[in-house]
Amino acid sequence: MRASETFDSDNTYTQVFDNGPDQVCEAGRRALMSQGYVIQRADGLVVEGTKSFQPEADIHEQVQLRVSCVSQADGRSWAFASALQDRYGLKKSSTAASVGTPMGSVSLPFGSTDDSLVKVASRTVQDGAFYKHFFALIQRYLPPAPKPEDKKPAAVARAEAKPAPAPPPPPAPEPQMQDAQDEPPLQPEPMKDAPTVEEVEQAQKAATPPSAPAGVQEPAPAAAPDAATP
């Protein structure tokens, strides 16, 4: 007979937490240990634990709880929990003693009885309250989740970590233009009188050197000594 499965979206086995998968799995490990589970596996993504029960003298039950942690894009994480319950029954088996003889084997009136556990059932726990209480216990062991404003993309965090650029220097002050009306009017310089003819001739005579008297020759300049004469 095929097992009935409806794949309902009631989130019985799933819970969303605001923390990362490493923290959720660590909280799941602590939650299992707080209830007496023996941890079989614990890493950043999967936690497994088992716990044994004996509801009756000849009945033994064992629950194996597995938690898987998966991260989300927004920094939160899913926790998927699934519990498997195995049921064992006590089975007794008797063994008769026999002795071999040349005429054949002879059964003796005494023997031994052996007890052993035999798996009689196995099922997945589908009780919604069971998983609800387990997820609430995980939340108890989780640290406070970071605030939404603290979750910044890596690019934004790197940009904020860079030092701010130096402010540009202040612009140079513009020269103030005086109004033409505030400047004093230019005064024309007085014109000088043109020199007379006599003043011009006196200036020329003063600039001309005196000439030598008649019949007197000016001495010739001395010749430069010959460099080759000893």
pLDDT tens digit string along 172-215?
Answer: 777 666 555 556 666 666 666 667 777 777 877 777 666 555 55
The predicted model scores a pTM of 0.56
* Residue 39: closest CA among 138, 47, 136: 47
- In a 10 Å sphere around its CB, with 0-12 CB exposed, 13-18 middle and 19+ buried, how is residue 26 labelled? buried
Q: Is 138 in contact with 14 (CB distance < 8 Å)?
A: no
Instruction: For residue 63, tell me if it sits in a domain.
Output: yes
Instruction: For residue 61, tell me if it sits in a domain.
Output: yes
Q: Is 74 in contact with 124 (CB distance < 8 Å)?
A: no
d(CA 87, CA 58): 11
Confidence of residue 228 (pLDDT cuts 50, 70, 90): very low
Domain count for the chain, please give it. Answer: 1
User: Which helix (H) or strand (E) covers residue 52, if one does?
Assistant: strand 46-56
Tell me what the mean pLDDT of segment 5-30 comes to. 90
d(CA 53, CA 92): 20
Quote the pLDDT of residue 123. 93
Instruction: For residue 175, tell me if it sits in a domain.
Output: no
pLDDT tens digit string along 97-143?
Answer: 565 666 666 565 555 666 788 889 999 999 999 999 999 999 999 99
Q: Is 32 in contact with 141 (CB distance < 8 Å)?
A: no
At 23, which CATH number? Answer: 3.30.310.80
d(CA 39, CA 88): 21
Q: Which long-range contacts (CB under 8 A, 24 or more apart) does 151-158 make?
A: 151/74, 151/75
Quote the pLDDT of residue 200. 72
Quote the pLDDT of residue 181. 58
d(CA 26, CA 47): 8
Instruction: For residue 222, tell me if it sits in a domain.
Output: no
Instruction: For residue 19, tell me if it sits in a domain.
Output: yes
Instruction: For residue 178, tell me if it sits in a domain.
Output: no
Does residue 53 register a pLDDT over 50? yes
d(CA 102, CA 4): 61
Tell me what the mean pLDDT of segment 56-77 comes to. 93
Quote the pLDDT of residue 116. 80
Instruction: For residue 32, tell me if it sits in a domain.
Output: yes
Range 27-53 burial, b when 16+ CB lie within 10 A, else e? bbbbbbeeeebeeeebeeeebbbbeee
Query: SS3 for 97-111, per residue?
Result: EEEEECCEEEEEEEE
Instruction: For residue 198, tell me if it sits in a domain.
Output: no
Domain that holds residue 49: 14-93+113-145
